[in-house]
Chains A and B, each alone.
Chain A
Amino acid sequence: MNYSKSAKHSLPAGKTVNNQSKTDQDTILSSQELAYIKPILTFLYHVWWRVQATGFEHLPDNGPAFIVGNTSGYIPWPALMLIYSLMINKDKQRAVHVLTDMDHIEDERISAFLRALNFVPWSYDNAKQLIEQGELIAIFPEDSSVIGKTVAMRNRLKRFDWTKFLPAIEANIPIFPLATLGIDEAGATVSVPWKMKLMPAVFCQSPKDREAIQEAAKKTALRAEGEIQAEINRLLRARSRLL
């Protein structure tokens, strides 16, 4: 099976194996685009959404790993908060590449800007390449299905796309579920506190034949989705008030 898409989905220049000479910290902090956006992220993270991020001690110090999270809306705010979280985390400072469907982003400037912030168009080949480079990768397997979610459906996950788990299953790398509470009520206009919790890795096995790999990917997708939904349910029960 060939998972690669068109040339437009290939890794952008500067995000190839050649990038390995830079440390993660150099890569993320030297980004000019990040310098522009950092004050905005700082404001959103510390003042507007007062993000409380926990559980990053589970992440390995180096080597490839998947972070799988829930998201909401057109702009991938959880991905940006995750990038910022890992950037300011003193104990686990790592760059994270966000593998996501970018087809629905029609504005080329926004697309280019996101790419500069380590957003990478989702394709099987891109995922494989990042894994081979030993990078930390974040995916949000609900993708564009979450756009237009109703109020009644807030904090309820859509079914995860299991095909997004295939590269991680094949490479036998750890998959860390990340539950984020607050995104469905917040948007960019409401100051609702966020809680982000990274959980221990879900099991990840690497069977030999294609059929078994697909089964393992489906099972892992259900497990990651379930862990995140269960954690969101727990966080909701513990939340005393919305604002």
Chain B
Amino acid sequence: MVDWTHLKTLVTENPLQALRRRNPVFYERYAEKTDEYGFDLKTWARWEPFFRFCFEDYFKVEVRGIENIPHDGRAIIVGNHSGVIPIDGAMMSMAMGNSHPSARRIRYLITDWFFGLPFLGNWMRETGQVRASLEIAEKLLDADEIIGLYPEGIRGVGKPFRDRYRVLDFHPGFVKLAITTQSPIVLVATVGGDEIFPNFTNLRSLATYMKLPFFPITPAFPWLPFPLWITPLPVRWLMNIHKPIKLDYPPEKATDRKLVREIAKDIQFQIQRDLNELFEKRKTLFTGWEDC
């Protein structure tokens, strides 16, 4: 039975007061701080109940290993991308904000294309996302923030259904970043996200014409009216968070392209292996792993 409490919170209460009462650790951490990249606690508090509804009641996300994310200090969260509408980052932020003893925000690095969209760009900034740039990422890590990124890039979001949970080759930039800033890397394998919008095909020429990264054909899009085509399937999710990897290399090693590429490959293979195993152990699409 779906619990609508979170959505009621969305419309009936003062969002900041509700956040302060329900999640004091998170509120205290960010209430008095100004952020040069536009994070606004009020916007976060307003939208958090909606994503918490998705996390707890709709997708019923199971999180394993949340304790592996450092309580303090910098970290880079790396995972497999999914979803057509990429809400995997939002689900990870919910896990970190609500299930971790030291509730913290994750600053996801987002491709510039999203920031160019009307309304969405500001909304993303205010909920904590930043433009994907090496300079911004280094600054955030130097400030001991947690950053999140998907090394498959936007290609990972537009994967067709038949390629679900098959990771694309990782861009190795995150390894360079980890070595330069001496940050641990935390791997996250997510199963569930690739099936919420089954993408049967991608109309590339139409996507190019409309200046979109991809034009998916799903059971709902573009046939059904808004908002039905953005309603995801209630697939159970599982996020498996690995122990942090500390790369014991001095910062000058960040320019060693071969080393950086090899480490990125190993991380990609580790996530792919985890996805294969989790996918095999899942009982059904809508009941998840509870009886395994």
Contact = CB atoms under 8 A, between A and B. Distances in A.
Nearest to B170: A230
A233 B269 CA distance: 12
B273 A233 contact: no
A212 to B, nearest CB: 16
Interface in A226-240: 226-227, 229-230, 233, 236-237
B279 A153 contact: yes
Q: Which of the four size classes fits the interface of chain A?
A: 10 to 19
Nearest to B262: A203
A159 B272 CA distance: 11
Interface in A157-209: 157-159, 203
B256 interface: no
A152 interface: yes
B163 A156 contact: no
B269 A225 contact: yes
B269 A230 contact: yes
Nearest to A152: B279
A226 B266 contact: yes
Contact of A223 (B169, B266, B276, B279): B266
A227 B261 CA distance: 13
A66 to B, nearest CB: 18
Interface in A125-156: 150, 152-153, 156
B277 interface: yes
Q: Which of the four size classes fits the interface of chain B?
A: 10 to 19
A230 B163 contact: no
A222 interface: yes
Contacts of B276: 153, 156-159, 229
B164 to A, nearest CB: 10
Contacts of A150: 280
A152 B284 CA distance: 11
B6 interface: no
B166 interface: yes
Interface string B250-292: 0000000000001001101110110011011000000000000
A225 B273 contact: yes
Kindly name the residue among B163, B166, B277, B279 whose own CB sees the greatest number of chain A CB atoms within 10 A. Answer: B166
A237 B167 CA distance: 11
Interface in A74-104: none
Contacts of B166: 233, 236
Interface string B146-169: 000000000000000011011111
Kindly name the residue among B168, B268, B273, B277 whose own CB sees the greatest number of chain A CB atoms within 10 A. Answer: B273
A226 B279 contact: no
A222 B167 contact: no
Interface string B166-207: 111100000000000000000000000000000000000000
Contact of B167 (A219, A223, A233, A236): A233
Contacts of A227: 265, 269
A226 B273 contact: yes
B280 A153 contact: yes
Given A222-B266, A223-B266, A237-B163, A229 B272 contact: yes
A21 B265 CA distance: 42
A236 B163 contact: yes
B277 A159 contact: yes
A242 to B, nearest CB: 10
Given A156-B276, A156-B280, A159-B277, A223 B269 contact: yes
Nearest to B269: A226
A227 B265 CA distance: 9
A226 B166 CA distance: 11
Contacts of B162: 236
A236 B159 CA distance: 12
Contacts of A229: 269, 272-273, 276
A152 B285 CA distance: 12
Interface of B: 162-163, 165-169, 262, 265-266, 268-270, 272-273, 276-277, 279-280
6 contacts: A150-B280, A156-B276, A159-B276, A203-B262, A227-B269, A229-B272
Interface of A: 150, 152-153, 156-159, 203, 219, 222-223, 225-227, 229-230, 233, 236-237
Given A156-B280, A226-B273, 6 more contacts: A219-B266, A222-B266, A223-B266, A225-B273, A226-B269, A237-B163
